[in-house]
């Protein structure tokens, strides 16, 4: 086994819409808050505003120190979608993983706390967007409702991907990422949103930095990270 780490800069070609899956868990604190209000029979405007805030907060991939982040699992899933365009999805799935720690800071101009992001009212050209809020009509339980999600307009991220160099080459990984950026996209409402351009920073981070930042188990395999479990919303 010969694991290496390639470092890339992903730069958004269009806005990125995010909705973390944590609220699908009924025991999640945000899910409980939302349920308590949505179950009220006679809701007023303040209730709908609070429901919007809760849904927004629960949908951001939030790290307690870094602020908004991109989970590595999402990036690899998008890359695998790009590999499938060349019928190489299976090899991509088995040979590429997010490098430690499994999540990567989103870079953008503006606030990095949930409250400040929700209150931001900067005008945007994207229909349905105001500041970092994106509202969209969705069908839920056979009813059409308005859902609030997070949106990042001019975004980028530095990401590290670990690849098994005896199975795939860095050129393959780069090609899959580029396909993903053009045809697949990241996160919600893709590929209309979430498309990105790719720039190679390093084909082997360990050689450049003198250290290896991927977690390896005793068998010499990369430890698979569950990115969302490492994230804590405010």
Task: Tell me whether residue 99 is in a domain.
Answer: yes
Task: Tell me whether residue 51 is in a domain.
Answer: no
pLDDT, tens digit, for every residue of 13-22? 999 999 999 9
pLDDT over threshold 50, residue 209: no
DSSP letters spanning 37-49: HHT-SS--HHHHH
pLDDT at 115: 96
Q: How confident is the model at residue 207 (pLDDT cuts 50, 70, 90)?
A: low
| Residue partners of 112: CB distance under 8 A and separation at least 6 | 67, 68
Task: Tell me whether residue 54 is in a domain.
Answer: no
pLDDT, tens digit, for every residue of 129-162? 999 999 999 888 788 888 999 999 999 999 999 9
Task: Tell me whether residue 176 is in a domain.
Answer: yes
Residue numbers of the domain that contains 139? 3-17+64-230
Task: Tell me whether residue 33 is in a domain.
Answer: no
Task: Tell me whether residue 114 is in a domain.
Answer: yes
Task: Tell me whether residue 50 is in a domain.
Answer: no
**Residue pair 89/133 in contact by the 8 Å Cβ criterion:** no
What's the DSSP call for residue 188?
B
Residues 122 and 57: their CA atoms lie apart, in Å, by 18
**Number of domains composing the chain:** 1
**Structural tokens at position 19:** 């909705």
pTM of the model: 0.86
Task: Tell me whether residue 40 is in a domain.
Answer: no
pLDDT, tens digit, for every residue of 48-86? 999 999 999 999 999 999 999 999 999 999 999 999 999
């Amino acid at each position: 086994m010969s694991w290496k780490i390639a470092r890339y800069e992903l730069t958004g070609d269009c806005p990125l819409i995010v909705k973390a899956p944590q609220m699908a868990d009924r025991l999640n604190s945000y899910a409980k808050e939302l349920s308590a209000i949505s179950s009220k029979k006679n809701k007023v405007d303040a209730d709908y505003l609070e429901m919007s805030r809760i849904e927004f907060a629960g949908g951001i991939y939030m790290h307690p120190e870094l602020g908004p982040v991109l989970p590595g699992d999402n990036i690899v899933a998008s890359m695998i979608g790009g590999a499938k365009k060349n019928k190489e999805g299976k090899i991509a799935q088995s040979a590429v993983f997010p490098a430690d720690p499994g999540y990567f800071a989103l870079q953008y101009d503006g606030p990095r706390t949930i409250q400040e992001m929700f209150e931001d009212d900067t005008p945007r050209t994207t229909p349905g967007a105001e500041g970092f809020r994106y509202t969209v009509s969705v069908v839920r339980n056979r009813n059409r409702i308005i859902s609030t999600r997070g949106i990042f307009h001019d975004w980028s991220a530095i990401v590290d991907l670990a690849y098994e160099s005896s199975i795939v080459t860095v050129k393959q990984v780069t090609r899959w990422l580029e396909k993903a950026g053009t045809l697949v996209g990241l996160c919600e409402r893709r590929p209309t949103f979430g498309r990105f351009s790719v720039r190679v920073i390093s084909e082997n981070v360990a050689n450049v930095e003198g250290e290896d930042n991927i977690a390896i188990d005793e068998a010499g395999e990369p430890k698979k990270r569950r990115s969302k479990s490492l994230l804590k919303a405010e």
